[in-house]
Structure 1
């Protein structure tokens, strides 16, 4: 598999996807047209146009899957696919309704380059249960594409000792997840991404790194450049009720 899993698509003070420009260009080497999946946002046309404007700078055309009469056929003939960010529940529900979950997973495992940002990165996991999003719609199940055997938490935020927010920190929420499930969760800070090539997995980014959460252990810090290939051999155990 060839994977590029971004925590975020926009960085402060930089244009859309600019922080990961080189990584995107490398990931799409040899690709002339990119199939974009805009289902995580309501305005599919505007979202696709935004992606197309960036990809045009890299010499790539973009086709929105929402314009296709047969989305599964579009995936079957695609050169590469980008699943954009937004609301993970809406995204997964639409992938399920259009019959794309199995189709996408099969093609990516067969070599189709997959790029995701935020919600699109959540979709690469076994389930969406470590998303930060509000469940604005109810998908048929929480099972996602399962391209990687561990969970990811995009937009990971470190606890702020000076903050006045009295709700759970991101660390506390992920700890609660691990009370019910035995599967690693990688908290990807803003400006970081994962580059996967078959069984190898590398943490990349412009500044911040990532935190790995596992049941019964303290979180482990990783800096950009870290080899996380061992995560691809994860044997996950989920609570059976929602997986």
Structure 2
């Protein structure tokens, strides 16, 4: 498989999808790729607008996207795609539409056969076994929590170590600990903004200047950098 699982699309003060574009370029290679874009996580703006926004950035690096919403047969579109790109937004809405269009199994099958997969935020969440470590509000019944299962661990994108000043609610770590209490055999990767996980050539690695925080029930959380080996997360 070839996976690029990105925490967030945009860093504060930067243009949309700017910081990861060079890694996307390296991941897809020099030969132009027209990727199938899945904009289903968009809620407050149109799929066309989302597609245009992503296409602008991909065109800068010599690649292109076309939204799956343009195809009469979305399953066939997946089966014929060169690569899949799944954008961020609301994970619950994304999972619902993937289920409604019967796309979970076709995407997983194509990615397992070697088709590159790129996702950010919600698009990284759905690469996991379930959506249950998303940060998003459950605005719609997803018709099942199961996702693509491209990796055997869970990701919590946009991971923050502390709450904003003045907020006394649960920290992200406390919420992950709640998940682990119910799911003790699962690793959760707290993926900080500006970082991404890449799987290629049988190796899982971290890209970015910050560490990732790895959680498992009854174990002290690990802080791993881009110099560390992440392959232990792939063991089911």
Cα deviation for residue 226 of structure 1 reads 2.4
**Stretches (4+) displaced over 3 A:** none
Partner of 2:11: 11
SS in 1 for 2:58: helix
Indicate the SS of the match to 1:215. Answer: coil
> TM (normalized to structure 2)?
0.95
Partner of 1:176: 178
Would you say the 8 A contact 1:199–1:232 is kept in 2?
Answer: no
Aligned to 1:240: none
Matches within 5 A, 1:74-93: 74-93=77-96
Find 1:62's aligned residue among 62, 65, 74.
65
- Whether 1:116 aligns to 2:119 is yes
State the Cα RMSD in Å.
1.2
User: Residue 164 of structure 1 aligns with which residue?
Assistant: 166
* Per-residue deviation, 1:20: 1.4
Q: Give 1:225's match in structure 2, choosing from 218, 224, 227.
A: 227
TM-score normalised over the length of structure 1? 0.93
Does the 8 Å CA contact 2:40/2:94 hold for their aligned counterparts?
A: yes
Using the TM superposition, give the Cα deviation of residue 117 of structure 1 relative to its aligned residue in structure 2, in angstroms.
0.1
Match of 1:41 in 2: 42
- How many residues align structurally? 232
Segments of structure 2 that go 5 or more residues without pairing to the other structure are: none
Aligned to 1:238: none
Secondary structure of the 2:170 match is coil
The alignment partner of 1:154 has SS state of strand
1:21 matched to which residue of 2? 21
What is the CA–CA distance in structure 2 between the aligned matches of 1:173 and 1:56, rounded to whole Å? 38
Native 8 Å contact 1:192 1:224 kept in 2: no
Q: 1:139 deviation in Å?
A: 1.1
What SS is found at the alignment partner of 1:18? coil
- Closer, same or farther: CA 180–127 of 1 in aligned 2, 3 Å: same
> Given the alignment of the two structures, is residue 126 of structure 1 paired with residue 119 of structure 2, yes or no?
no
Q: Distance in 1 between matches of 2:174 and 2:63?
A: 41
